[in-house]
Amino acid sequence: MKQIAIAAAALAALLSASGARAQESVKIGLLQSFSGITSLSGQQTDGAVKLFMKQNGDTAGGKKIEFVRRDTTGPNPEVARRLVQEVVTREKVQLLIGPDFTPNTLAAAPILMEAKVPSFVNGAATTGIIGEKSSYSSRTFFATPQLCRPLAEYAVKNNWKRVFVAVADFAPGHDCEKYFVEALAAASGVLAGQLRVPLSNPEFSGYMQRIRDAKPDALFIFMPLGELSIGILRAVSDSGLKGSGIKIMGTGDITDETYLDAVGDAAIGTITSGIYSTRHESELNKKFVREYTELNGPSPRIGWTAVSIYDAMRLAYDGLNAQAGGKFDPDKFVSFVHGRSFESPRGPVTIDKGNGDITQNVYIRRTDKVDGVLQNVEIETFKDVGFK
């Protein structure tokens, strides 16, 4: 009996000792899609974190940074919520990057609020998911209207007044359609027609004929990252729609650098709106692209996720440094991050003081071949575009 008591006391001492040590480190949860069809974002997450740690070391505010990586497996709120619960209650992470996708973000918010864990939202672009019900979250990605509105203005300004709108038939697509059509009407453009493309196995040729018959000046496309974007750009080119003088536009998803090479020359001339291009002209970005490529290799190319995660790391380090020495205080951290402006590889960025959403420059880009490589070249800048 006595031995058991001694063993228990020793165990308790050991546990409390490790507890004391744990205070000198900060754990950051990384909840992204590391497997499945969206695993490219997981690869970029790893790449960006690796680069940031190499440039800035593995301590911030005198605390050692540790990571807990978990795979959200894509838009899967049941799994994401449990993982958030697990990393918060068992791994005791103090900060969280992720989870990605809107339904995951929504499912995780109540836990983060109750546990007071500041999080950086990435890979979820729906309007209004940041705010009152998730006051510990900040978004380093973008909000859908940010990309859709400027493009409508740009089109009308260039006298492409009749626009045909084609979106993928799911929640973000409907969202984007709404904002684009609104902005088009506000700029007194004309809606030449619209269609919604199913997410699974669409056959594009029929759609191309419908678009041609509507005789628009321009075609606006919103497709999710990946296969559908590649498919529709190829169809637009193969069907001769592109050659017939109709301007092809879309959100930057359709010409994302990670698969732009797979689209090939069919992408040339596409006008897109985006938050980041590897061709962005700034010293910071040149350094970012050079060092990222040196560290992680040229493939897969740098996309929006990499920049968004890199910026989340920036904010995390700055926030921790601002409260160096003391015990980690989540409220202080959030009030530091909200309202902060900084220079990102994508350009100037501000995290909104009121609700943690993002204000940033949006660039109109033209896809072109530069030194034999397809690139999104920035041709016009909309400054400090809000998230609403």
Partner 1 sequence: MSAVPEWFAGKARWSGFEIAFWCALAGAYFLPNIDIALLSQIFIWGLFAMSLDLLLGYRGIASLGHAAFFGAGAYCAGFLGKYGWGEPVSGLLISMLPAAALGWLTGKLVQRVSGVALLMVTLGLNLILFDFVQRSTALTGGDDGLQGIAVDPLLGLFRFDIFGRTAYWYSLGALFALFVFLRAFVHSPFGLALTGSRENARRMIMLGSPVEGDISIVFAVSAAAAAAAGALLTQTTQFVSPATLSFQRSADVLVMLIIGGAGRLYGGLIGALIFLVMKDWLAALSPVYWYFWIGLLLVLVVSFFRKGVLPSLETGMRGLIARLGKARGGGPPA
Where along the sequence are the contacts to partner 1 (CB under 8 A)? 34-36, 39, 42-43, 69-71, 73, 75-78, 81-82, 85-86, 88-90, 102-103, 106-107, 110-111, 114-115, 126, 170-172, 174
Q: Which residue's CB is nearer to partner 1, number 75 or number 189?
A: 75
Residue 286, Cα to own-chain centre: how many angstroms?
A: 20
- Edge-first strand order for the sheet with 137-139 is 59-60, 63-71, 25-32, 95-97, 119-121, 137-139
Q: Which residue's CB is nearer to partner 1, number 123 or number 345?
A: 123
Q: Which residue's CB is nearer to partner 1, number 56 or number 194?
A: 194
CB 337 to partner 1: min, Å: 22
| Tokens of residue 373, six digits | 């490589």
Q: Which residue's CB is nearer to partner 1, number 102 or number 285?
A: 102
Q: Which residue's CB is nearer to partner 1, number 41 or number 359?
A: 41
CB 62 to partner 1: min, Å: 28
Q: Which residue's CB is nearer to partner 1, number 191 or number 199?
A: 199
List residues bridging with 376 in a β-sheet: 367
Which residues touch 171 (CB under 8 Å, ≥6 apart)? Answer: 102, 126
CB 199 to partner 1: min, Å: 10
**Measured distance CA(130)–CA(142) in Å, rounded:** 11
Query: CA angle 134-167-369, nearest 5°?
Result: 100
| Strands (DSSP E) found in the chain | 25-32, 59-60, 63-71, 95-97, 119-121, 137-139, 162-168, 190-197, 218-222, 247-251, 271-274, 341-344, 347-351, 358-370, 373-385
Taking Cα atoms as reference points, which of 135, 142, 145, 146 lies closest to residue 353? 135
Q: Which residue's CB is nearer to partner 1, number 127 or number 282?
A: 127
CB 39 to partner 1: min, Å: 7
CB 257 to partner 1: min, Å: 21
**Measured distance CA(246)–CA(232) in Å, rounded:** 15
Taking Cα atoms as reference points, which of 87, 133, 139 lies closest to residue 114? 133
Contact 262, 229 (CB under 8 A): no
Helices 171-186, 144-157: crossing angle, 10 deg rounding = 40
**Measured distance CA(270)–CA(387) in Å, rounded:** 24
CB 87 to partner 1: min, Å: 10
CB 45 to partner 1: min, Å: 10
Q: Which residue's CB is nearer to partner 1, number 36 or number 354?
A: 36
Residue 98: C-alpha distances to residues 80, 108, 216, 283 (Å): 9, 9, 40, 28
| Tokens of residue 298, six digits | 């040229």
Q: Which residue's CB is nearer to partner 1, number 73 or number 293?
A: 73
